[in-house]
Amino acid sequence: MVEQWKSRSGFILATIGAAVGLGNIWRFAYVAGENGGGVFLITYLIFVILIGLPLVIAELSIGRRGASDTVTAFEVAGDGTHWRVVGWIMVGGALLILSYYSVIAGWAVRYFVGALSGDLWQDAGEKYGAYFEGFIANDFEPLLWQALILIVSGVIVAGGIQKGIERINLVLMPLLGLIVLGLAVFSLTLPGSGAGVRFLLAPDWSAFGRPSLYLAALGQAFFSLGLGMAVFVTYGGYLSASTRIPGAAATVAAGDTLFAIVAGLAIFPAVFALGGDPAAGPRLAFVVFPQILLQLPGGTIIGPVFFFLLSAAALTSMISLLEVAVACATHRMGLARNQVAWVIVGIVLVLGVPSALSYGVLAEVKLLGQPILDNIDQAVSNFVLPLGGLLVAVLVGWRIERSRALADADFRDTWLGSTWLWSIRVLAPITIAVILLRSLGVM
Ligand code: TRP
């Protein structure tokens, strides 16, 4: 018998925990910064509502129907055809994401420890850029911190659904919500913060003409929600029939989006108030932001709080990715959860070596002029996840019979259900396909 969530709120917090992660803080801030702030935010919001939310509902409904793991769920939904293979591919994809995601999570833990002990402020002085580059270029340090946070994730996943995953999220997620709100309030009270607010919330309409905006916003919507790699299929597998899926999915999508906006309001006003560069790319959270904190009264207290937020948010997302694979290995191969979890943590560590060393020993290995980790991140978010979403849409929209698809997702035959199904059948697949083909230069 597969374990189930203890409570509805436990399920919702765990699912928000999966969605809220590095994507909402580190990635959202730098992608929004690179893509013009307000214009990016609007495009991103439209994709979350029209494509993201319907797909969260679709993933959860396949998962609950299967009432087990991803591979089983795809098998049940696809009615004994080769859809099972899609399940296995997603397990592989989840491990691939985990392999580089945990590297950045490791950086966050390192910065948390450094900010807490004061090393970060002393050693770096005014030269955060060099400090950061020195750390990520080290031969083994990034691996060490990556291993640490992977082991913590392993302990929690080995603990099971209720006693591991649900419990940690019940504690961490409300706490993280309070922290991010507090940081935003702090940042918004700085003199000169208004420019940062305007950057994030007031769109410069001319930027809508840039095609790269749409791919970046779509990729960010998928990554931030955690779509396309069967995380919601997996978490839906532990869901009871009494929880209505659309409401839960809307809560999760709204929570994830709100979290990203509030995190943006913690970062950009401070960056603008002190003249930092909002388009600094992946270094925004690790270089620009700490440098700004050091110039502020109380900055050395805010620093550890910010990096705790980043580390803990990453942890609850890593747990979800790990669970996708652990659930499959446990149910399909009949292995014990607490052993499987460790084998998979080991596999991820090995898979993660190229990413962990991609700014050090392997810095010369470049594809398209970028280090390995940047390539994996972009390929995954902008192509692999949307493709995963496309497959889910085809499965739920076209393979499963209409009335069953609606019933599995807790929709009755009302306009709301028809709208959802129309997005899954038509809008989502076409939008995803057009954006992907255009960015590949095919269209
Ligand atoms: N959504 C998480 C974030 O914003 C990352 C994540 C968790 C994820 N599970 C996922 C990304 C599945 C893609 C697919 O950081």
Ligand 1 center to 289 CA (angstroms):
23
The contacts of residue 125 (CB under 8 Å, 6+ apart) are none
Q: Whose CA is nearest to atom 10 of ligand 1?
A: 226
Q: Is the pLDDT of residue 369 over 90?
A: no
Q: Is the pLDDT of residue 158 over 90?
A: yes
pLDDT given at position 376: 87
The region of weakest confidence among 23-27, 172-176, 204-208, 384-388 is: 204-208
pLDDT given at position 119: 84
From 60, 320, 385, mutation site for ligand 1 pocket: most ligand atoms within 8 A of C-beta: 320
Round to whole Å and give the CA distance between 343 and 160: 16
Q: Is the pLDDT of residue 245 over 90?
A: yes
The region of weakest confidence among 123-137, 160-174, 413-427 is: 123-137
Ligand 1 center to 403 CA (angstroms):
30
Mean pLDDT to the nearest integer, 3-23: 97
Q: Which of 286, 259, 275, 269 is nearest to 201 (CA)?
A: 269
Ligand 1 center to 84 CA (angstroms):
22
388 CA: nearest ligand 1 atom? 14
Ligand 1 center to 190 CA (angstroms):
31
Q: Whose CA is nearest to atom 9 of ligand 1?
A: 226
Mean pLDDT to the nearest integer, 83-87: 95
Q: What is the pLDDT of residues 381-427, one digit of tens each?
A: 888 899 999 999 999 999 999 999 999 999 988 999 999 999 999 99
126 pLDDT band (50/70/90 cuts)?
low
Q: Whose CA is nearest to atom 13 of ligand 1?
A: 226
> Ligand 1: residues within 6 Å at CB?
18-19, 21-24, 97, 223-224, 226, 228-229, 231, 317, 320-321, 385
Ligand 1 center to 19 CA (angstroms):
6
Q: Which of 12, 307, 337, 350 is nearest to 150 (CA)?
A: 350
443 pLDDT band (50/70/90 cuts)?
low
- Quick one: CA dihedral 297, 300, 302, 307, positive or negative? positive
The region of weakest confidence among 76-80, 334-338, 435-439 is: 435-439
Q: Which long-range contacts (CB under 8 A, 24 or more apart) does 310-313 make?
A: 310/22, 310/25, 310/26, 310/108, 310/111, 310/112, 310/285, 311/105, 311/108, 311/109, 311/112, 311/149, 312/172, 312/175, 312/176, 313/20, 313/21, 313/22, 313/24, 313/25, 313/176
pLDDT given at position 124: 60
Round to whole Å and give the CA distance between 251 and 393: 21
The four Cα atoms 404, 410, 415, 419 give a dihedral, to 10 degrees, of -80
Round to whole Å and give the CA distance between 271 and 266: 9
Q: Is the pLDDT of residue 368 over 80?
A: no
- Three-point CA angle 82, 86, 91, nearest 5°: 140
Ligand 1 center to 273 CA (angstroms):
30
- 8-state DSSP, 20: S
The region of weakest confidence among 9-18, 141-150, 273-282, 343-352 is: 273-282
From 103, 316, 321, mutation site for ligand 1 pocket: most ligand atoms within 8 A of C-beta: 321
The region of weakest confidence among 95-109, 148-162, 296-310 is: 296-310
Ligand 1 center to 232 CA (angstroms):
10
pLDDT given at position 343: 97
Please give the residue that has the higher pLDDT: either 293 or 432: 432
Q: Whose CA is nearest to atom 14 of ligand 1?
A: 226
C-alpha 305, offset from chain centre:
20
Q: What is the pLDDT of residues 350-362, one digit of tens each?
A: 999 988 888 887 8
